[in-house]
Chain A
Amino acid sequence: MAVDLIKERYTSRVGEVVLGATADEGGTRSHTITIGGDSTMPFLRFEGEVPNRPVVAMEVVDREPVEWNVALREAIGDEIKDPAAWAQKCVNEFGADLVFVRLQGADPDLGDAGPEACQATVKAVLDAVKVPLIVIGCGDDEKDNEILPAVAEAASGENLLIGTATEENYKTLTAACMVHKHCIVALSPIDINIAKQLNILINEMNLPLSRIVSDPTTGALGYGLEYSYSIIERARLGALGGDRMLAMPVMCTAGYEAWRAKEANASVDEFPDWGPVEPRAVMWEALTSTALLQAGAHLLVMRHPRAVSLVQKHIDAMMKE
């Protein structure tokens, strides 16, 4: 019995965003990375194209994140004290496609690093690795509006992905990305309407749609992952149906969220029936990421080298010709 495959016919596709710039393009990266462009739901290549493999960025912090789980810090090694060395290890040993630099040290409560210090950090990482970079502020709006334009200027031409723009605070960063030719992360709080609205607002300032990456906010496994999962699926269906304001590639901070979960930190003494903490935590991050890939994530930001290698292997398997 021949069963005809049911193929959905979508009218449109996810937008493509190019990250990084080579010397020819005014930057210093060895290559660029393109995300998005899918013309079907995740990985369904029997009915559409998945022209670009989903990618994994690894998170590097500009200060030693002493509050991180000790198992995670040990897995990263001593390089955790130096963002440039840490970034190098992510690319050379851990298999990261990109580096995600969190300028947390700029937080007024965590060192209050100024614009020059942040510029220096980003420069150092740019010198240390040749992959495209993502740079994220400290989360304090006022401070981010001070440091991120400075970073955008110092890295002019590198085509960074810079974040985070929110509905309440997007103008300064959008302007900086316009002037210095970078891409922007648009963060919305697990709400598809706000996601769309923010893309419109940024686009109205004349930043092209091809320079916006959407971060719909990630819920960790066990902590609202299903909300993110459904929002990402709905946005993808919107994109495929022709809604250009929902057609941005999707970035998910899976590592940050997964490592906040109780299950990634509680010791086996506290919860004897949960088993040892490190493998549990690694799986918490790996499965959070895998589920998001199945929803439609294009760019995962992760932390633990073992979780990264599991997810990279999975992406390879899903993309195999």
Chain B
Amino acid sequence: MGLSGLDIYKQLPKKNCGECGPPTCLAFAMSLAAGKAALDACPYVSDEARENLASAAAPPIRLLKVGAGETAVEMGDETVIFRHEKTFVNPTGIFIEVGDDLSDEDVKAKLEQIKGLVFERVGMEYAIDGLALRNVSGDAKRFLEVAKAAQALGKPLVLIAEQAVLSEAAPALADDKPLLYAATAENFEAMTELAQKCDCPLAVRGEGLDQTAELAKKIAGLGHKDLILDTGNRDLPQAISDLTQIRRHALKKFRPLGYPAMAFTTADDPEEEMVEATALIAKYAGLLVVKADQVSQLLPLLSWRQNLYTDPQKPIQVKAGVYEVGEVTPESPVYVTTNFSLTYYSVEGEVQASKIPSYIIAVDTEGTSVLTAWAAGKLTSEAVAEMLEKEGMGDKVNEKRIVLPGHVAVLSGKLKELSGWDVMVGPREASGIPSFAKSKFA
């Protein structure tokens, strides 16, 4: 959300003293707009102008960091309503709720369970971002005890408790920068002071959109701006409506709502909860607190988050090279595809479904699909022949036969000539691989 040179110029002293470097204020304003100069270079700029410029140049949704060190989670800093307009930037932070009324043993088991929630799919590691500890016991000492135990996870915490409990427990946990939940109309002054003292991010919970905006404005006025918003509405359509309004207002630079927003699922059934969570992630939750803790529930949810936050302009790629599917032997066939992850994993899935152990060569096509890569000259006979040679495929299999995607059958003759391999034309779509493999290799 950059300002134009002219917008900036209006705020400058117009002395044309040249002390900042460029000869005139207008030239300086142009440098500022281009990001080639800093406002501090001007000795005469007024405080008012400084503030106006800073706030006008600030991103529409303030970036918030929860946690400390490498596992800290960032949220906010989004610039669009629809991902196709540019991209969504900071994936929704997903936190699992735990109550401090559990026994020591149950806490330990729960933490183990959460620690185990790391899984790998399509070459990426997925993990839960942190833990939301809720003060159910009503006892500050117990809350602190469980929070200390949870710190061992090394993941960010959300501390959910009344202000009195947080005031007692939070200072001892402040180094890990937990999110304090929450400042309300009743306690916001004390909560703001606590958040400032601990230098921790603070959740703002109003009753509805109006009160939330009002509270956020007051708290920012007190000098604390590391905020995340919660309108308190848990009814799903209303929660989505609020999240949508917050995003729209923020992008129009309505500052009281210029923060990331958070949401809670409500269903008791963890599978229903994941359905709610899917909708909330789609519609702008920056941080989401869930209760589900089973892999079968969270792997699909985290996969959705990964999908949604993929940059539409940057296709995901797998590393170019040779992949083995199943227990390969010298009898295994060799398939060729591209390194666009969607293409590669479609092929891999179908080769696996064929139940015939095989090699797959992923050619570096800069993450483009078969036809696009062929049209752009990135999937060529030369490239495939070179891969076969470089990877020493000739030594790995007895029968030199390679399967080309049906769409690029046209490469067969040249590839055979260059590599000396038997070139077979496979199906055009990956879904045809199992029946193809059955007829040729079974």
Interface residues of B in 253-312 (CB under 8 A from A): 254, 256-257, 271-272, 274-276, 278-279, 282-283, 294-297, 299-301, 303-304, 306-308, 310, 312
A263 touches B275 (CB 8 A): no
Taking CB atoms, residues of chain B closer than 8 Å to A279 are 271, 294, 296-297
Assess whether B249 is in contact with A3, with CB atoms less than 8 Å apart: yes
B53 at the interface (CB under 8 A from A): no
Residues of chain B with a CB closer than 8 A to A280's CB? 295-296, 299-300
Nearest CB of A to B234, in Å: 11
**Chain B residue nearest in CB terms to A2:** B210
Contact of B307 with A225 in the complex, beta carbons under 8 Å: yes
Instruction: Indicate if the CB atoms of A262 and B349 lie closer than 8 Å.
Output: yes
Of A6, A222, A287, which one neighbours B252 at CB under 8 angstroms? Answer: A6
Known: A3-B209, A6-B252, A283-B274. A226 touches B312 (CB 8 A): yes
User: Chain B nearest CB: distance from A87 CB in Å?
Assistant: 25
Task: Say yes or no for A210: interface residue by CB 8 A criterion.
Answer: no
The answer to whether A287 and B278 have CB atoms under 8 Å apart is yes
Check A9 for interface membership: any CB of B closer than 8 A: no
Q: Count A-side interface residues using an 8 Å CB cutoff.
A: 51
A274 at interface, CB cutoff 8 A: yes
Q: Max chain A CB contacts within 10 Å: which of B116, B214, B276, B279?
A: B279
Contact between chains at A221 and B82 (CB < 8 Å): no
Q: Which residue of A5, A221, A223, A306 is within 8 Å of B300 (Cβ)?
A: A221
CA distance A275 to B236 in the complex (A): 28
Q: Give the B interface residue count (CB, 8 A).
A: 59
Given contacts A274-B119, A275-B296, contact A261 B308 (CB under 8 A): no
Contact, CB under 8 Å: A223 / B279: no
Partner pick for B304 among A6, A234, A287, A306, CB 8 A cutoff: A287
CA distance A58 to B431 in the complex (A): 22
Q: Which residues of B lie under 8 Å from residue A145 when comparing CB positions?
A: none
Interface string of B198-237 (1 = CB under 8 A from A): 0000000000011101100100000000000000000011
Q: Does A275 contact B299, Cβ atoms closer than 8 Å?
A: yes
Instruction: For the complex formed, measure the closest distance between the CB of A242 and the CB atoms of chain B, giving whole angstroms.
Output: 18
Q: Is A26 interfacial (CB-CB < 8 Å)? A: no
Which residues on the A side are within 8 Å of B122 (C-beta)? 222
In the complex, the answer to whether B275 meets A286 with C-beta atoms within 8 Å is: yes
Give Cα distance in the complex from A275 to B272, angstroms. Answer: 18
Is A44 touching B210 in the complex (CB atoms < 8 A)?
A: no
Interface residues of B in 60-92 (CB under 8 A from A): 82-84
Residues of chain A in range 263-296 having any CB-CB distance to chain B below 8 Å: 263, 265, 273-276, 279-280, 282-284, 286-287, 290-291, 293-295
Which residues 86-137 of B sit at the A interface, judged by CB distance below 8 A? 116, 118-122
The distance in angstroms between the C-alpha atoms of A229 and B356, with both chains bound, is 34
* Whole-angstrom CA separation of A318 from B239 in the bound complex: 11
- A93 beta carbon closer than 8 Å to chain B: no
The interface bits of chain A over 294-321 (1 if a CB of B lies within 8 angstroms of the residue's CB, else 0) are: 1100000000001000110110011010
Measured between alpha carbons, how far is A293 from B248 in the docked complex, in Å?
A: 21
Q: Does A100 interact with chain B (Cβ within 8 Å)?
A: no
Taking CB atoms, residues of chain B closer than 8 Å to A77 are none
Which of chain B's residues has its CB closest to A284's CB?
A: B300
Instruction: Please encode chain A, from 20 to 50, with 1 for each CB lying within 8 Å of some chain B CB and 0 for all others.
Output: 0000000000000000000000011110000
> Does A230 lie within 8 Å of B83, measured CB to CB?
yes
A223 partner, pick from B256, B275, B342, beta carbons under 8 A: B342
Q: Is the CB of B83 within 8 A of A318?
A: no
Chain A contact residues: over half helix, strand or loop, or mixed? Answer: helix
For chain A, residues 61 to 98, give those with C-beta under 8 angstroms from any C-beta of chain B: none
- Beta-carbon contact of B249 and A6 below 8 Å: yes
Q: A233: CB under 8 A from chain B? A: yes
Known: A44-B241, A275-B296, A279-B296. A221 touches B345 (CB 8 A): no
CA distance A223 to B297 in the complex (A): 18
Interface 0/1 of B19-32, CB less than 8 Å to A? 00000000000000
A223, B257: Cβ atoms closer than 8 Å: no
From B84, B119, B272, give the contact of A310 (CB < 8 A): B272
Residues of A within 8 A of B118 (CB): 273
Map CB proximity to B onto A220-257 as digits: 1 under 8 Å, 0 otherwise: 01111110011001100100000000000000000000
Residues of B contacting A237 in the complex (Cβ-Cβ under 8 angstroms): 82
CB distance from B386 to the nearest CB of A (A): 29
**Could you tell me if B278 and A3 are in contact, using CB atoms closer than 8 angstroms?**
no
Query: Which B residues touch A275, using CB under 8 A?
Result: 294-296, 299
Most buried by A among B237, B248, B283: B237
Is there contact, CB below 8 Å, between A223 and B345?
yes
The answer to whether the Cβ of A260 comes within 8 Å of any Cβ in the partner chain is yes
A219 to B403: give the CA distance in the assembly, Å: 25
Docked pose: A37 CA to B190 CA in angstroms: 50
- Say whether A273 contacts B304, CB under 8 Å: no
Chain A residues near B211: list those with CB within 8 A. Answer: 1
Find the B residue at minimum CB distance from A231: B84
Given contacts A1-B214, A3-B209, A3-B245, contact A318 B296 (CB under 8 A): no
Instruction: Give CA–CA (A229, B282) in the complex, Å.
Output: 10
Interface pair A310/B295, CB less than 8 Å apart: no
Nearest A-chain residue to B283, judged by Cβ: A294
CB < 8 Å: which of A1, A222, A260, A274 contacts B295? A274
Query: Complex Cα distance A226/B83, Å?
Result: 9
Within 8 Å CB of A168, what residues of B?
Answer: none
Contact indicator A291/B245 (Cβ below 8 Å):
no
Q: Is the CB of B271 within 8 A of A3?
A: no
A109 within 8 A of B: yes
Mark out the residues of chain B between 348 and 401 whose CB falls within 8 Å of any chain A CB in the assembled complex. Answer: 348-349, 352-353
Cα distance, A192 to B271, chains bound together (Å): 33
A283 to chain B, nearest CB (A): 4
Evaluate contact between A229 and B300: CB separation under 8 angstroms. Answer: no
Q: Can you name 24 A-B pairs with beta carbons within 8 Å?
A: A1-B210, A5-B245, A6-B245, A6-B249, A44-B241, A44-B244, A222-B306, A223-B342, A223-B346, A226-B310, A226-B312, A229-B308, A234-B82, A261-B349, A262-B352, A274-B119, A274-B296, A274-B299, A280-B299, A283-B297, A287-B274, A291-B278, A294-B279, A313-B275
User: With A6-B245, A260-B349 given, can you name 9 additional A-B contacts, CB distance below 8 Å?
Assistant: A1-B210, A46-B241, A226-B312, A274-B295, A283-B296, A284-B300, A314-B276, A314-B279, A320-B237
Ranked nearest first, the 3 interchain pairs of A and B with the lowest CB-CB distance are A275-B295, A1-B214, A275-B296
